[in-house]
A and B are shown apart, each in its own frame.
Chain A
């Protein structure tokens, strides 16, 4: 998937009421494209079958001292 441009990232900022200016605009763009690239390539088996769950699990069988 193609990288986002700085103009597109600037628009993302405007969508939430933030004006991104240089040098932070470039750096935020680097960050988002890095994260996007890392996660785009990451599709392990089972990903489509899980849903985000609360951070503390009721895994009682593991819950022992």
Chain B
């Protein structure tokens, strides 16, 4: 009860600066907290999440609670059932504090936020990361104990990177998509964003597992993720992805910080080698084609009837996906298959891939919509977005863990080491991140808000 009240009070005090929440479910949270307290007192303890206040990206259905997808289009949408992720967290005894702000329909290029511009608690002028922006900002600012985001091309990992957290994009199929507003069906998956890898593991434990309501749900046993965290890294093979760490667009300070983090894994017992994913530099464009083509049909009716209700850039992206020539899409699908083969080939040699999650610290908040040349459009389809998209295309798990700070315009901004692994090696990635956090202190620093 105290934990829920303390978080609600802090939301009242701080969130006016951050805009991390779209909806705060105060009354429902207090009621659920009272019930949790009674249950624990009577000996019905449900586990480590019982009574823990969490918040969720406004992309997941919540029964009787507004679910906007960050859009004006869904400004009145109140689902009559919970997404599977929500019902499982509630079933584990977690307390829903509210719905978190996000880029419109989980896109990467939106500028206007219909529910207020989410801001980074480390520097209010900077982006907390797209598209699970509120999940990053609220978790970093202690406005929830743990949160849920959704990752289509990096949307869980980028807020973790920008806000100094741990974010896991699980293996496709491990977490149900039922009741999650879609962005790109073949790339989407919900995942935890937390302050520690252990919190991520506990959150993942609640949401992972087979769901017959999701046709791509994996019907396989879910391991005990918290138990996997223990041990050491002796014998672990880590592969530095050359096209990531040494890419010319990665800022030198980021490269140095991430290199130090990888060296630290070596000090913990891992062996470090270099590997190559030659197609990685092109994955931003290939991912973009998949996302826009798969998103466009979901918006077809509204693009005709309510075009003015979209963010300018989002409307452009969905229109692009609507008219993209079929042979271009087919070529992108074939390239996706080659990328997957390259990712799987290097994962035959090593256990975990390591690279920067981003090429730069959190950027300043963009306020200028529009694209003004083909070259500008190309720039948006390359660079930092290539670092994360490969693992969405390959359907493998990937994780961002805060690994230090870089100074940008006088501010210390967090940056993250990205790890990726074989399908269903989510627990191993959490273990590496956990052991890294256990022997470093980056995660103990708090943003100045």
Chain A interface residues (CB < 8 Å from chain B): 3, 9, 12-13, 15-18, 20, 23-24, 27-28, 30-39, 42, 44, 46-47, 50-53, 55-57, 59, 61-65
Contact = CB atoms under 8 A, between A and B. Distances in A.
B319 A28 contact: yes
Interface in B324-357: 324-325, 328, 330-338, 340-341, 344, 347-348
Chain B interface residue number, banded = 35 or more
B337 A62 contact: no
Interface stretch (B7-15, B48-56, B423-431, B437-445): B423-431
Contact of B344 (A17, A28, A30, A59): A59
The 9 closest A-B pairs by CB, nearest first: A52-B333, A34-B377, A12-B323, A34-B378, A30-B377, A31-B320, A38-B285, A27-B371, A27-B316
B351 to A, nearest CB: 10
Nearest to B379: A34
B216 interface: yes
Contacts of B173: 56
Nearest to B278: A44
Interface of B: 172-173, 186, 216, 218, 223, 228, 278-279, 282, 285-286, 288-289, 303-304, 315-317, 319-320, 322-325, 328, 330-338, 340-341, 344, 347-348, 370-378, 381-382, 395, 422-425, 427-428
Most chain-A Cβ atoms within 10 A of its Cβ — which of B228, B319, B348? B319
A50 to B, nearest CB: 5
Contacts of B303: 18
Contacts of B288: 35
A63 B397 CA distance: 12
Contact of A24 (B304, B315, B324, B427): B315
A25 B267 CA distance: 54
Given A56-B218, A57-B344, A51 B334 contact: yes
